[in-house]
Structure 1
Amino acid sequence: MSRTPRIAVIATATAAVVSTPAVWLLDGPGPGQFVGASVQAATGVAALLWAMLRDRPAPAAHDTVEHTGDAVAVDGGNALTGFSGPADRSTGPSVTRHTGATRAEGAGSVANSGTYYR
Protein backbone atom coordinates (compact mmCIF):
# COMPACT_ATOMS: atom_id res chain seq x y z
CA MET A 1 0.00 0.00 0.00
CA SER A 2 1.36 3.40 -0.91
CA ARG A 3 1.88 6.16 1.62
CA THR A 4 -1.32 8.19 0.99
CA PRO A 5 -3.84 5.32 1.36
CA ARG A 6 -1.91 4.04 4.39
CA ILE A 7 -2.22 7.44 6.09
CA ALA A 8 -5.94 7.58 5.24
CA VAL A 9 -6.56 4.12 6.72
CA ILE A 10 -4.61 4.96 9.87
CA ALA A 11 -6.48 8.27 10.33
CA THR A 12 -9.87 6.61 9.75
CA ALA A 13 -9.07 3.74 12.11
CA THR A 14 -7.89 6.14 14.78
CA ALA A 15 -11.07 8.20 14.44
CA ALA A 16 -13.20 5.03 14.65
CA VAL A 17 -11.35 3.82 17.72
CA VAL A 18 -11.72 7.11 19.57
CA SER A 19 -14.84 9.01 18.48
CA THR A 20 -18.07 7.05 18.36
CA PRO A 21 -17.32 4.49 21.09
CA ALA A 22 -16.30 7.34 23.38
CA VAL A 23 -19.57 9.20 22.73
CA TRP A 24 -21.61 6.04 23.33
CA LEU A 25 -19.79 5.17 26.53
CA LEU A 26 -19.88 8.70 28.01
CA ASP A 27 -23.70 8.81 27.96
CA GLY A 28 -24.32 5.87 30.34
CA PRO A 29 -24.39 3.03 27.83
CA GLY A 30 -26.91 0.27 27.76
CA PRO A 31 -25.86 -3.30 26.90
CA GLY A 32 -26.42 -2.78 23.16
CA GLN A 33 -24.37 0.43 23.07
CA PHE A 34 -21.59 -1.22 25.04
CA VAL A 35 -21.43 -4.15 22.60
CA GLY A 36 -21.59 -1.80 19.61
CA ALA A 37 -18.81 0.38 21.00
CA SER A 38 -16.66 -2.67 21.69
CA VAL A 39 -17.16 -4.08 18.19
CA GLN A 40 -16.45 -0.72 16.56
CA ALA A 41 -13.32 -0.18 18.65
CA ALA A 42 -12.06 -3.69 17.85
CA THR A 43 -12.67 -3.09 14.12
CA GLY A 44 -10.78 0.19 14.27
CA VAL A 45 -7.86 -1.42 16.08
CA ALA A 46 -7.77 -4.25 13.53
CA ALA A 47 -7.73 -1.77 10.61
CA LEU A 48 -5.03 0.27 12.31
CA LEU A 49 -2.85 -2.78 12.89
CA TRP A 50 -3.44 -3.98 9.31
CA ALA A 51 -2.32 -0.62 7.89
CA MET A 52 0.76 -0.44 10.08
CA LEU A 53 1.95 -4.03 9.82
CA ARG A 54 1.20 -4.81 6.19
CA ASP A 55 4.27 -5.79 4.17
CA ARG A 56 5.81 -2.98 2.21
CA PRO A 57 7.22 -3.77 -1.22
CA ALA A 58 10.96 -3.58 -1.56
CA PRO A 59 12.18 -0.45 -3.30
CA ALA A 60 13.18 -0.88 -6.92
CA ALA A 61 16.68 0.45 -6.38
CA HIS A 62 19.29 0.00 -9.07
CA ASP A 63 22.78 1.12 -9.99
CA THR A 64 22.99 3.69 -12.79
CA VAL A 65 26.08 5.05 -14.54
CA GLU A 66 25.81 7.44 -17.50
CA HIS A 67 28.06 9.74 -19.54
CA THR A 68 31.43 9.07 -17.92
CA GLY A 69 34.86 10.02 -19.19
CA ASP A 70 37.74 7.85 -20.40
CA ALA A 71 40.12 5.92 -18.12
CA VAL A 72 43.51 4.18 -18.48
CA ALA A 73 44.97 1.52 -16.16
CA VAL A 74 48.75 1.09 -16.08
CA ASP A 75 50.99 -1.50 -14.38
CA GLY A 76 48.39 -3.45 -12.42
CA GLY A 77 45.89 -0.61 -11.99
CA ASN A 78 42.16 -0.54 -12.58
CA ALA A 79 40.39 1.66 -15.12
CA LEU A 80 36.66 1.95 -14.54
CA THR A 81 34.16 4.14 -16.37
CA GLY A 82 31.12 2.03 -15.53
CA PHE A 83 29.93 0.49 -12.29
CA SER A 84 31.79 -1.85 -9.96
CA GLY A 85 30.43 -3.31 -6.75
CA PRO A 86 29.91 -6.50 -4.75
CA ALA A 87 27.44 -8.87 -6.36
CA ASP A 88 25.69 -9.66 -3.08
CA ARG A 89 24.79 -5.98 -2.55
CA SER A 90 22.84 -5.55 -5.80
CA THR A 91 19.18 -4.75 -5.13
CA GLY A 92 17.94 -4.48 -8.67
CA PRO A 93 18.93 -4.03 -12.28
CA SER A 94 22.09 -2.21 -13.26
CA VAL A 95 22.06 0.41 -16.01
CA THR A 96 25.28 1.51 -17.73
CA ARG A 97 24.98 3.88 -20.71
CA HIS A 98 27.35 6.05 -22.73
CA THR A 99 30.45 5.32 -20.69
CA GLY A 100 33.91 6.44 -21.72
CA ALA A 101 36.60 4.30 -23.26
CA THR A 102 38.92 2.29 -21.02
CA ARG A 103 42.39 0.96 -21.70
CA ALA A 104 44.58 -1.40 -19.66
CA GLU A 105 48.36 -1.33 -20.13
CA GLY A 106 50.77 -3.65 -18.36
CA ALA A 107 50.55 -6.88 -16.42
CA GLY A 108 47.62 -7.19 -14.02
CA SER A 109 45.82 -4.10 -15.32
CA VAL A 110 42.04 -4.22 -15.62
CA ALA A 111 39.75 -2.00 -17.69
CA ASN A 112 35.97 -1.95 -17.47
CA SER A 113 33.45 0.35 -19.15
CA GLY A 114 30.29 -1.58 -18.23
CA THR A 115 28.96 -3.21 -15.08
CA TYR A 116 31.31 -5.36 -13.04
CA TYR A 117 30.05 -7.23 -9.98
CA ARG A 118 32.95 -8.68 -8.05
Structure 2
Amino acid sequence: MLVPKGVKAVIMASAGAAIVSTPLYWLLGGPDSGQLAAASVQGATGVVALAWSLLAPPAVPGPAPEPASPAEPAPAPAPELRATDAADADADAVAVADVATDTGQSRARAGGKAISGVLRESRADGRSARVERSGDAIAEGPGLACSGVYCR
Protein backbone atom coordinates (compact mmCIF):
# COMPACT_ATOMS: atom_id res chain seq x y z
CA MET A 1 0.00 0.00 0.00
CA LEU A 2 1.45 3.36 -1.05
CA VAL A 3 0.96 6.26 1.34
CA PRO A 4 1.46 9.98 0.57
CA LYS A 5 4.09 11.75 2.68
CA GLY A 6 1.56 13.99 4.45
CA VAL A 7 -0.58 11.05 5.56
CA LYS A 8 2.53 9.16 6.61
CA ALA A 9 3.63 12.10 8.77
CA VAL A 10 0.22 12.29 10.48
CA ILE A 11 0.29 8.55 11.18
CA MET A 12 3.80 8.77 12.60
CA ALA A 13 2.89 11.74 14.82
CA SER A 14 -0.27 9.98 16.07
CA ALA A 15 1.68 6.78 16.74
CA GLY A 16 4.33 8.71 18.63
CA ALA A 17 1.66 10.43 20.74
CA ALA A 18 0.01 7.09 21.52
CA ILE A 19 3.33 5.54 22.54
CA VAL A 20 4.28 8.50 24.77
CA SER A 21 0.84 8.97 26.34
CA THR A 22 0.63 5.40 27.64
CA PRO A 23 3.51 5.60 30.16
CA LEU A 24 2.37 9.09 31.19
CA TYR A 25 -1.09 7.73 31.94
CA TRP A 26 0.40 4.91 34.01
CA LEU A 27 2.61 7.25 35.97
CA LEU A 28 0.10 10.02 36.60
CA GLY A 29 -3.29 8.30 36.84
CA GLY A 30 -2.99 5.32 39.17
CA PRO A 31 -5.00 3.10 36.82
CA ASP A 32 -7.05 0.04 37.72
CA SER A 33 -6.77 -3.22 35.74
CA GLY A 34 -9.26 -2.24 32.99
CA GLN A 35 -7.53 1.06 32.41
CA LEU A 36 -4.13 -0.67 32.30
CA ALA A 37 -5.45 -3.11 29.67
CA ALA A 38 -6.85 -0.25 27.56
CA ALA A 39 -3.61 1.73 27.85
CA SER A 40 -1.63 -1.36 26.82
CA VAL A 41 -3.79 -1.79 23.71
CA GLN A 42 -3.33 1.90 22.94
CA GLY A 43 0.46 1.65 23.28
CA ALA A 44 0.63 -1.53 21.17
CA THR A 45 -1.49 0.10 18.46
CA GLY A 46 0.85 3.10 18.46
CA VAL A 47 3.92 0.88 18.10
CA VAL A 48 2.32 -1.06 15.22
CA ALA A 49 1.26 2.16 13.45
CA LEU A 50 4.73 3.65 13.85
CA ALA A 51 6.40 0.50 12.52
CA TRP A 52 4.00 0.34 9.56
CA SER A 53 4.54 4.01 8.63
CA LEU A 54 8.31 3.54 8.73
CA LEU A 55 8.23 0.38 6.63
CA ALA A 56 5.56 1.35 4.06
CA PRO A 57 6.96 2.34 0.65
CA PRO A 58 6.58 5.99 -0.36
CA ALA A 59 3.81 6.97 -2.74
CA VAL A 60 4.68 7.42 -6.40
CA PRO A 61 2.83 9.54 -8.95
CA GLY A 62 0.00 7.79 -10.75
CA PRO A 63 0.56 6.33 -14.18
CA ALA A 64 0.34 8.57 -17.22
CA PRO A 65 -2.60 7.95 -19.53
CA GLU A 66 -1.88 5.57 -22.39
CA PRO A 67 -1.63 6.94 -25.93
CA ALA A 68 -4.64 6.42 -28.18
CA SER A 69 -2.79 3.84 -30.26
CA PRO A 70 0.35 1.85 -29.44
CA ALA A 71 1.66 2.63 -32.93
CA GLU A 72 1.56 6.38 -32.26
CA PRO A 73 4.33 7.95 -30.17
CA ALA A 74 3.19 9.73 -27.02
CA PRO A 75 3.15 13.52 -27.47
CA ALA A 76 5.75 15.48 -25.50
CA PRO A 77 4.28 17.55 -22.64
CA ALA A 78 4.04 20.94 -24.37
CA PRO A 79 3.81 23.38 -21.43
CA GLU A 80 6.76 21.83 -19.61
CA LEU A 81 9.15 21.70 -22.57
CA ARG A 82 10.63 24.73 -24.26
CA ALA A 83 12.45 23.75 -27.41
CA THR A 84 14.64 26.27 -29.19
CA ASP A 85 16.83 26.07 -32.23
CA ALA A 86 20.39 26.25 -30.91
CA ALA A 87 21.80 26.44 -34.46
CA ASP A 88 20.74 30.12 -34.66
CA ALA A 89 22.34 31.08 -31.34
CA ASP A 90 25.92 31.11 -30.15
CA ALA A 91 26.07 28.64 -27.21
CA ASP A 92 28.54 30.79 -25.26
CA ALA A 93 26.57 34.03 -25.63
CA VAL A 94 23.09 32.75 -24.73
CA ALA A 95 21.97 31.95 -21.19
CA VAL A 96 20.55 28.44 -21.34
CA ALA A 97 17.14 27.87 -19.78
CA ASP A 98 15.51 24.53 -20.61
CA VAL A 99 16.74 23.96 -24.17
CA ALA A 100 15.86 20.79 -26.07
CA THR A 101 17.02 20.41 -29.68
CA ASP A 102 16.96 17.52 -32.10
CA THR A 103 15.50 15.13 -29.55
CA GLY A 104 14.58 11.51 -30.14
CA GLN A 105 11.11 10.06 -30.07
CA SER A 106 9.24 9.44 -26.83
CA ARG A 107 6.94 6.42 -26.60
CA ALA A 108 5.05 5.15 -23.57
CA ARG A 109 2.82 2.10 -23.13
CA ALA A 110 0.96 0.37 -20.32
CA GLY A 111 1.01 3.32 -17.92
CA GLY A 112 4.59 4.45 -18.60
CA LYS A 113 5.79 8.00 -19.17
CA ALA A 114 8.49 8.94 -21.69
CA ILE A 115 10.40 12.23 -21.95
CA SER A 116 12.92 12.80 -24.72
CA GLY A 117 14.21 16.14 -23.43
CA VAL A 118 14.08 18.44 -20.33
CA LEU A 119 10.80 18.41 -18.15
CA ARG A 120 11.57 20.13 -14.85
CA GLU A 121 9.64 21.41 -11.86
CA SER A 122 12.03 21.29 -8.94
CA ARG A 123 15.72 22.10 -8.76
CA ALA A 124 15.20 24.54 -11.64
CA ASP A 125 15.92 27.70 -9.59
CA GLY A 126 19.50 27.68 -10.83
CA ARG A 127 17.96 27.23 -14.33
CA SER A 128 20.22 26.24 -17.21
CA ALA A 129 19.74 22.89 -18.87
CA ARG A 130 20.49 21.67 -22.37
CA VAL A 131 19.55 18.56 -24.30
CA GLU A 132 20.90 18.13 -27.81
CA ARG A 133 20.54 15.11 -30.06
CA SER A 134 19.08 12.91 -27.36
CA GLY A 135 18.10 9.35 -28.07
CA ASP A 136 14.66 7.81 -27.92
CA ALA A 137 12.84 7.51 -24.59
CA ILE A 138 10.72 4.35 -24.50
CA ALA A 139 8.73 3.40 -21.38
CA GLU A 140 7.06 -0.01 -21.11
CA GLY A 141 4.82 -0.52 -18.09
CA PRO A 142 4.58 1.77 -15.07
CA GLY A 143 7.67 3.88 -14.85
CA LEU A 144 9.52 6.66 -16.60
CA ALA A 145 12.06 6.81 -19.42
CA CYS A 146 14.05 10.00 -19.99
CA SER A 147 16.88 10.62 -22.42
CA GLY A 148 17.86 14.06 -21.13
CA VAL A 149 17.53 16.17 -17.91
CA TYR A 150 14.21 15.23 -16.04
CA CYS A 151 13.90 16.70 -12.42
CA ARG A 152 10.77 16.48 -10.35
* 1:35 matched residue in structure 2: 37
* 2:17 matched residue in structure 1: 15
Deviation at 1:115, TM superposition (A): 3.1
Listed as ranges, the gaps of 5+ residues in structure 2 are 63-79, 89-100, 105-111, 119-131, 138-146, 148-152
Question: Taking structure 2 as the reference length, what is the TM-score of the superposition?
Answer: 0.43
* 1:67 matched residue in structure 2: 83
Structure 1 stretches of 4+ moved >6 Å: none
Deviation at 1:18, TM superposition (A): 0.9
Listed as ranges, the gaps of 5+ residues in structure 1 are 72-79, 84-90, 98-111
More helix by share: 1
Supply the distance in 2 between the matched residues of 1:13 and 1:96 (Cα, whole angstroms). Answer: 43
Taking a change above 3 Å as real, the CA distance of residues 16 and 39 of structure 1, as seen in their structure-2 partners, is: same
Supply the distance in 1 between the matched residues of 2:113 and 2:81 (Cα, whole angstroms). Answer: 14
Matched, 1:82 2:103: yes
More strand by share: 1
TM-superposition CA deviations, 1:17-62 (whole Å, max 9, x none):
111x2243113332222211111000011111122211223468xx
* 1:24 matched residue in structure 2: 25
The letter of the residue matching 1:48 is L
Supply the distance in 1 between the matched residues of 2:82 and 2:134 (Cα, whole angstroms). Answer: 10
The letter of the residue matching 1:56 is P
- The answer to whether the Cα contact below 8 Å between 1:14 and 1:48 also exists between their aligned partners in 2 is yes
Question: Taking structure 1 as the reference length, what is the TM-score of the superposition?
Answer: 0.53
Supply the distance in 1 between the matched residues of 2:23 and 2:136 (Cα, whole angstroms). Answer: 61
TM-superposition CA deviations, 1:92-115 (whole Å, max 9, x none):
512449xxxxxxxxxxxxxx8463
Larger relative CO (CA 8 A, sep 6+): 1 or 2?
Answer: 1
How many residues were matched structurally?
87
CA RMSD of aligned residues (A): 3.7
TM-superposition CA deviations, 1:48-98 (whole Å, max 9, x none):
1122211223468xxx86424239xxxxxxxx7436xxxxxxx9512449x
The letter of the residue matching 1:93 is A
